[in-house]
Amino acid sequence: MKVTFPHMGYMYICLKALFNYLDIEVVVPPMPSKRTLSLGTQHSPEFACLPLKINMGNFMEAYEKGADTIVMAGGVGPCRFGYYAQVQREILKDIGINMKMVVLEPPQKHISELLIKVRELTGSKSWFDVVRAIRFAFNKACAVDEVDRIVHKIRPREIETGAVDLVLAEAIKWIDEAQNKKQLDEVLKQAKNELASIEVDYSRRPIRIGIVGEIYVILEPFVNLNVEKHLGRMGVEVERSIYLSEWINDHLFMGLLKMKGNKSARELAPPYVNHFVGGHGQETIGSTVKYGKEKYDGVIQLMPFGCMPEIVAESILPTVSREIGIPTFSLILDEHSGDAGVITRLEAFVDLLARKKEINDETKDAEGAFICADI
């Protein structure tokens, strides 16, 4: 059995660690590329959302590399993600790719439903080993997120452009290659040291932007056209509303661990969104409110074209922006997004924020200062 899975940012590091730990042979699909996208779009429904198409491409490329089993998550709606696996299975069947699909669904009646599925994969390994493997995979997710957080801080302040990204690529490789917890701790320490030795200018006061929106497009740099990197190089300090480890804790561990989760964001969403709308719609609004209160300079919403929960959020976002006084910008991503157009728009947005910050700084103490410049 050669197992493969869809890509979502750095999630492959965790899943690879998980399967390797359990002695399951794993085929990591090639990193998403133009080819992945065109393979995926060729066979997917036209109006399906972007993640489904990239996933399809991942599966097809993994099949070429010899994978025969797909591990995929399920769901109970109302977001379309819960039905991805079903549609993908039908498509794969029709184009003659015979792969076994193991769909991990949230149990409807009893936890045993999920456990039986896990057993299909793990074979004769003991549950103790499974739990240990999951813990190790989760540790890797936390390590990646820790590095990411530091990088977000350093990138706008680095003196030599691109220095951080070189270290980041190295660090990710180290984390990926770590075989056990001890090694992982070591490489994390080493990565932190390397990051700390990068030359930075701490006298800069970068613009701070919060990134909110749909999880897949936030986490997958190929889909969001490396928006974090581009913003960082424009001198923007980026903060994300969601990190991989938090998402795993919220959705796979049912919030078992005490760490910052999506609950706090959801609580801030009323009165704008008074009800769960599926996906991350409510979190998008809640996080925007949060960033507004924390006096961030702006918020960027990332969403795939046609994403239902994010459309709800998008249509309410202007009101939030007006009432909380934080500029927002919705960036809609689809398979046609060209790099240059997006960068131009980001630059324009950042320029506006920089101008506003300047004015605010100048007039901070003057009488009749306005708090929010209307953009």
In the complex, the residues that contact another protein under the rule CB under 8 A are: 45-49, 74, 76-80, 82-83, 85-87, 89-91, 94, 103, 105, 108, 272-279, 281, 305-309, 311-316, 318-319, 332
Considering the complex, state which of residue 53 and residue 208 has its C-beta at the smaller distance from another protein.
53
Considering the complex, state which of residue 305 and residue 357 has its C-beta at the smaller distance from another protein.
305
Contact indicator for 288, 318 with CB cutoff of 8 Å: no
Backbone angles phi, psi at 237, to 5 degrees: -90, 125
Contact indicator for 85, 74 with CB cutoff of 8 Å: yes
CB 307, min distance to another protein, A = 8
Considering the complex, state which of residue 14 and residue 285 has its C-beta at the smaller distance from another protein.
285
Considering the complex, state which of residue 108 and residue 203 has its C-beta at the smaller distance from another protein.
108
Considering the complex, state which of residue 232 and residue 278 has its C-beta at the smaller distance from another protein.
278
CB 48, min distance to another protein, A = 5
Token pair of 80 as six digits: 């379309």
CB 114, min distance to another protein, A = 14
Within 8 A by CB and 6+ apart from 71, the residues are 3, 4, 5, 15, 102, 104, 121
CB 278, min distance to another protein, A = 4
- The single residue listed with the structure tokens 């996080």 is 287
Provide Rg for the chain, Cα atoms: 21
Secondary structure (DSSP) of 115-172: HHHHHHHHTT--HHHHHHHHHHHHHHHHHHHHHHHHHHHHGGGBSSTTHHHHHHHHHH
Considering the complex, state which of residue 280 and residue 356 has its C-beta at the smaller distance from another protein.
280
Give the Cα separation of 24 and 40 in Å (integer): 26
CB 92, min distance to another protein, A = 11
Q: Is the dihedral of CA 212, 149, 224, 62 positive or negative?
A: negative
Considering the complex, state which of residue 97 and residue 172 has its C-beta at the smaller distance from another protein.
97
Considering the complex, state which of residue 244 and residue 312 has its C-beta at the smaller distance from another protein.
312
Give the Cα separation of 12 and 33 in Å (integer): 15
Query: What letter represents residue 259's amino acid?
Result: M
Nearest to 282 by CA among 263, 299, 295: 263
CB 303, min distance to another protein, A = 8
CB 296, min distance to another protein, A = 21
CB 164, min distance to another protein, A = 34
CB 274, min distance to another protein, A = 6
Helix-strand-coil split of the chain, %, nearest 5: 55, 10, 35
Considering the complex, state which of residue 46 and residue 367 has its C-beta at the smaller distance from another protein.
46
Query: What letter represents residue 93's amino acid?
Result: K
Give the Cα separation of 223 and 216 in Å (integer): 8
Contact indicator for 333, 217 with CB cutoff of 8 Å: yes
